[in-house]
């Protein structure tokens, strides 16, 4: 199974090496064509950077799994309480728009079930059923 990133890279190589090949075969290519090709390559690189940032791949961001967000509880519009797993410890932190504060270090780590609770799946199925009726 190929990742979307590899497919985009291979597509970009095919699309953007073709003008370079044509330029080497036809010396009468003008500067406008060269500049247009350069602009397309720069736009493609910026698009890939944006896409990688949106995908949030753990291998690219360098996350080694030592820090995990276990649960989040929204408190306000931009405020939430987050349960973090840091190595063997669990920390409860408060996150606001401008600050992250340690609320407490849990003495007894909470045992969380490995399977998701399915709340999202239930909510999504309800939304799909209500939208099908319309």
DSSP state at residue 102: E
In this prediction, residue 7 carries a pLDDT of 60
In this prediction, residue 81 carries a pLDDT of 92
In this prediction, residue 88 carries a pLDDT of 85
Reading the block at residue 118, the tokens are: 């399915």
In this prediction, residue 66 carries a pLDDT of 76
Residue 114 has pLDDT above 80, yes or no: no
Residue 120 has pLDDT above 70, yes or no: yes
Quick check: 98 and 80 in contact, CB under 8 A? no
Reading the block at residue 76, the tokens are: 């306000």
In this prediction, residue 40 carries a pLDDT of 95
Residue boundaries of the structural domains of the chain: 4-55, 67-106
In this prediction, residue 122 carries a pLDDT of 76
Quick check: 89 and 109 in contact, CB under 8 A? yes
The answer for 95, left when phi > 0, alpha when psi is -120 to 50, beta otherwise, is beta
DSSP state at residue 28: T
How far CA 42 is from CA of 10, 12, 52, in Å, comes to 16, 11, 15
In this prediction, residue 130 carries a pLDDT of 75
Strands (E), 1-134: 67-74, 80-86, 89-95, 100-105
pLDDT in tens, 28-82: 668 888 899 999 999 999 999 888 888 766 555 555 567 888 889 999 898 999 9
Residue 87 has pLDDT above 80, yes or no: yes
pTM above 0.85, yes or no: no
In this prediction, residue 52 carries a pLDDT of 82
For the CA atoms of 115, 117, 121, 127, the dihedral, rounded to the nearest 10 degrees, stands at -170
* Mean of pLDDT values over 12-25: 60
In this prediction, residue 15 carries a pLDDT of 59
């Amino acid at each position: 199974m190929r990742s979307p990133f590899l497919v985009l890279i291979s597509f970009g190589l095919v699309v953007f090496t073709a003008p370079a090949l044509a330029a080497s075969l036809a010396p009468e290519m003008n500067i406008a064509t060269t500049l247009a090709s350069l602009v397309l390559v720069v736009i493609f690189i910026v698009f890939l950077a944006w896409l990688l940032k949106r995908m949030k791949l753990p291998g690219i961001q360098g996350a080694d799994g030592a820090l995990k967000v276990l649960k989040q509880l929204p408190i306000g519009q931009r405020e939430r309480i987050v349960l973090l797993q840091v190595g063997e410890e669990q920390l409860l932190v408060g996150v606001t728009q401008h600050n992250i504060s340690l609320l407490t270090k849990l003495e007894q780590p909470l045992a969380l079930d490995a399977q998701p609770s399915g709340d999202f799946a239930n909510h999504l199925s309800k939304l799909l059923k209500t939208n099908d009726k319309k």
